[in-house]
Amino acid sequence: MTPNHHEYMNEEWIEAVIKKVNRRIGEIRREKGMTQAQLAEILNLETRYFRRFETYRNMTLRNLFRFTAALDCEIVDFFHEPRTNGNGRGRPKKKGKG
């Protein structure tokens, strides 16, 4: 269900969307087989600062575009519904194991 224009001003809805975008960044990073440290290095960020982006931190459009480039994805990918509840593994699965 798409919210009407008044619902876009609802702080709870805005916070929920921010959380979903942050979760999607983590999902996409893991799908690409990258650790937080690896992505932080590409973005030229300290790992501890980077972690904030996957833990419900509001970010600028500039940073969204930086993540798009670093993860080689489209910005719309961040706005798809997350596939996880946010309580999964932080690290990508090791290749060749299973």
Domain ranges of the chain: 7-79
Residue type, 32: K
Specify the DSSP class assigned to residue 97.
-
pTM assigned to the model: 0.76
CA distance 57 to 34: 20
CATH for 7-79, among 1.10.1040.10, 1.10.260.40, 1.20.120.420, 3.30.590.20? 1.10.260.40
Burial class (CB in 10 A: 0-12, 13-18, 19+), 45: middle
For the chain, the average pLDDT equals: 84
Residues of the chain with pLDDT under 70: 1-8, 86-98
**Predicted local confidence at residue 86, as pLDDT:** 62
